[in-house]
Amino acid sequence: MIIEKKKLKNGFELPVFGFGTWGMGGRDKINPENDDKADIAAIRTAIEMGVIHIDTSAWYAEGHCEEIVGEAIKKYAREEILLTTKVPPMKLHYKDIINSAKESLSRLGTEYIDIYVIHNPNPFIDIRESMEAFDYLIDKKIIKNIGLSNFNVGQFTEAQKSTDNHIVCNHLHYNLKHRGPFSDGTIGYCQENDIIIVAWRPTQKGFFGCNNIDILNKMSQKYEKTPIQIAINWLISQKNMVTIPKSRNIEHFKENLGALGWKMEKSDIDILQNEFPGTVDIVENTTLAKLIQP
């Protein structure tokens, strides 16, 4: 399957559907009991079925997740894959970023990273210092593009002011239920400023599939799609928005992929926007609060 892409003015493009890897190899720590082979097989299945964008992070399973991704992709031509990885927020000083990028290259078994992302803003480290390191990595062709994650409008603007390279994306927790980045203006800002929004947690960890939500049931019947397919389709119907569901379960993966290749009517997109019950409007940042020390 060829997955449609969203394109920026500078030519940068990302498929509307990529593959998330949070939880593969462990969570915050490496999980020795993890079935790495199953994770590698799941990533390869996704690639065989048309996925080219894989999202990981040096933070996931202490870097072991990157090793799993590296193992999975090594049998494919590198230029056929778009790799996103991220530098953790506690490593945003100049030298730390460069070292972290090089360590990621080694774990991923690659010579370059397509999109290198700051995983979370760090209010204790000057973003100008961080962006200088990102510019260096671009100059040295270690990374091809700069991205950010969980940055609000003020934080994104400060980062963009500190580099002449156009920052291509902002990863945000956004889905039918979690609307914080829409309510605080971050989504609108990205859409108006030629930035791709990478919506993370698109299924809300399967929540949309198992909660018998009336409005989703009605849309499911109308379009003959599952509630999760409706939820993912709703995301990618929006300007500049792509998403990265994670699944190591083949049935889940196929269901998620079934969100592509068809369109909802604009009036239904709006109904889901305005009438979905129990939306959450705050942006949670508990991980950051726990991990960052002044």
Ligand X SMILES: NC(=O)c1ccc[n+]([C@@H]2O[C@H](COP(=O)([O-])OP(=O)(O)OC[C@H]3O[C@@H](n4cnc5c(N)ncnc54)[C@H](OP(=O)(O)O)[C@@H]3O)[C@@H](O)[C@H]2O)c1
The answer to the question of residue 245 lying near ligand X (CB under 6 A) is yes
Closest contact distance (angstroms) between CB of 244 and ligand X is: 5
Instruction: Identify the residue among 150, 152, 162, 240 touching ligand X (CB under 6 A).
Output: 150
Contact call for residues 196 and 235 (beta carbons, < 8 A):
no
Contact positions with ligand X (CB under 6 A) in 45-64: 55
The answer to the question of residue 252 lying near ligand X (CB under 6 A) is yes
Q: Choose between 139 and 250: whose C-beta lies nearer to ligand X.
A: 250
Return the structure tokens found at 270: 């709006």
Q: Choose between 233 and 256: whose C-beta lies nearer to ligand X.
A: 256
Instruction: Identify the residue among 6, 12, 17, 21 touching ligand X (CB under 6 A).
Output: 21
Q: Report the residue number whose CB is nearest to ligand X.
A: 20
- The size of the interface with ligand X (CB under 6 A), counted in residues, is 26
The answer to the question of residue 248 lying near ligand X (CB under 6 A) is yes
Q: Choose between 71 and 164: whose C-beta lies nearer to ligand X.
A: 71
Residue 106: CB atoms within 10 Å: 13
The answer to the question of residue 258 lying near ligand X (CB under 6 A) is no
Give the binding site for ligand X (CB under 6 A).
Answer: 20-22, 55, 119, 149-150, 171, 200-206, 209, 228, 244-249, 252, 255-256
